[in-house]
Chain A
């Protein structure tokens, strides 16, 4: 009976997700892995595809008259609210700025929606808002509209923030997975995994010899440096949830290409690697919040590297691999010891190992 009523409420909408397998949403549906991609494609894309949703990119590109805009949104539910190297406020600004930057856009305006938990200390809120203001100034964006809701104690972890952003695209490049070509160079702007391990260490009360700081930063600067120098950029992606591995697999699949990686070339700081070893994590799947991968035409690779290395946020930039034909996928990594292996998306989030 209820089913019928539901169908009437949603004419023409058929959910292809096998509900018998997942009658409810699991945390893994938000983990950046296979389950989340299925959820996006099978629920959201199938419902909204007529609105021009481009599911496999960080933001939408919209033509308004003769102006090309980029538009994106993201919600931030990080626990704890404060972590070494940042907090939920700086993350909410930088994350959305970066989604715009990954469209090759110059970020201009942000909105912020706050969901606050009853009892949240006012001092905490002010610290976070202050941090957002500083992050917005550093990224040269303006926060122009917002919304506030308060929910009962226990209904959220202190606070959640949603930000949306608008940027302007000032070039003729078509930056998206479908532009990726065999032969393209895959360039990474710096070491991976710092944000994920910084948050993990605080959340789980793990003390290491040194504090791992999140790499949380706005990436529009180095991206625009590449754009302005005329680098032939084919695709950009910041390896947040799901890490570098998921970002590359996503792009390879959407581009119907393969990717060859060189394990030796992927920079991971010793403290991040150590924390990963202890927990049994693979840094390839750990989030960064201030790094990006660029797929650029092979002929521009050296120039792109030089430009990035001249920027404070790209000092450790390096070429980590190349795009191959015969896709979609796989992403194959040449191991340090000589063999090779597939790099795949995880099902959900990484979980600490047993022993």
Chain B
């Protein structure tokens, strides 16, 4: 499976990673190599096999729907890049 530059650009957008021309070509090369490695998965037929998400076949544990956390906003926002009045600041979203 060989990736083209335009495939790489699409993936980079999905992953929200900025890339330039040179990087796009380099990624096309290295990702294609990795996909060749990954293509070996096709060697075995898995039509009747169940996917395995957890080795112990566990299910998501549930808890009662009650509030257990305490307000630590000040503490967490102390390390934020930009905050004001308890809000995280980001550049304006283009309409």
| A and B are interacting partners | no
Give A residues with C-beta under 8 Å from B. none
